[in-house]
Amino acid sequence: SQQGEEDPQALSIQEGENATMNCSYKTSINNLQWYRQNSGRGLVHLILIRSNEREKHSGRLRVTLDTSKKSSSLLITASRAADTASYFCATTNAGGTSYGKLTFGQGTILTVHP
Amino acid sequence: EAQVTQNPRYLITVTGKKLTVTCSQNMNHEYMSWYRQDPGLGLRQIYYSMNVEVTDKGDVPEGYKVSRKEKRNFPLILESPSPNQTSLYFCASTTFPLWDTQYFGPGTRLTVL
């Protein structure tokens, strides 16, 4: 079954508010990445957090990783209308026969209203 | 400029007519992969390659073939396309084994009639 499942599936907020998206996964991972996709276009890498890291920041983005709960969260602070997009988490397996495999979640659709 | 290129960007074809979607990267990445994106199903990995002449199946390899004869190229081949292969396809590359950022191509929208 697919791992890297995001929650919520859709999120609608006002400009200036914070947006939090969660991602859960099932197997041991090497790292977890978050990507953004504007409608029908290519994916843009946002941030990567390694399995031995707990928190990472990049501009208005904050990512946390809890390997004991197999979950991660992406926080976008002070959101803007331009943040409207789909956000995906993706995990790389740590080992075994699936080493090298990258698994994406189904994504969270974020809408930021001006 | 570091990039992943895909061609064609749009393709409409008919059932059974063999086609190839090309993917090329200029970053000397070892790892390359193909994904398909369908509404409600997210991105699913089709095939990946950790280096030249090394390829492995992803989650949905049926109906697809790949080859990795050169480090920079990783073409996706549909020997006999069917309508259920209508999708948006992405190629991506990254370094290995550092598992750094995946760089994605712009996507190929394929319609099989």
Supply the mean pLDDT for chain B. Answer: 93
Chain B nearest-CA residue for A30:
B99
The pLDDT value recorded for residue B12 is 97
Chain B partners within 8 Å of A43 (Cβ)? 43, 90, 92, 102, 104
Average pLDDT (B17-30) is 96
Establish, for the pair of chains A and B, how many residue pairs have beta carbons separated by less than 8 Å.
63
Q: What is the pLDDT of residue B40?
A: 80
Bridge-based pairing state of the strands A85-93 and A108-113: antiparallel
pLDDT of residue A5: 76
Most confident of A60-64, B48-52, B97-101: A60-64
Q: Are B34 and B90 in contact (CB under 8 A)?
A: yes
pLDDT band at A95 (very low <50, low <70, confident <90, very high): low
Q: Residue A30 pLDDT > 70, yes or no?
A: yes
Q: Are A36 and A87 in contact (CB under 8 A)?
A: yes
Amino acid A14 reads Q
Residue contact A100–B41, C-beta within 8 A: no
- pLDDT tens digit string along B76-88? 999 999 999 999 9
Which carries the bigger pLDDT value, residue A100 or residue B40?
Answer: B40
Q: How much of chain B exceeds pLDDT 70, in percent? A: 96
Section A65-76 average pLDDT: 96
Amino acid present at A96: G
Bridge partners (DSSP) of residue A108 are A87
Compute, in degrees rounded to 10, the torsion defined by CA atoms A14, A15, A18, A21. 70
- Single-letter amino acid code for the residue at A67: T
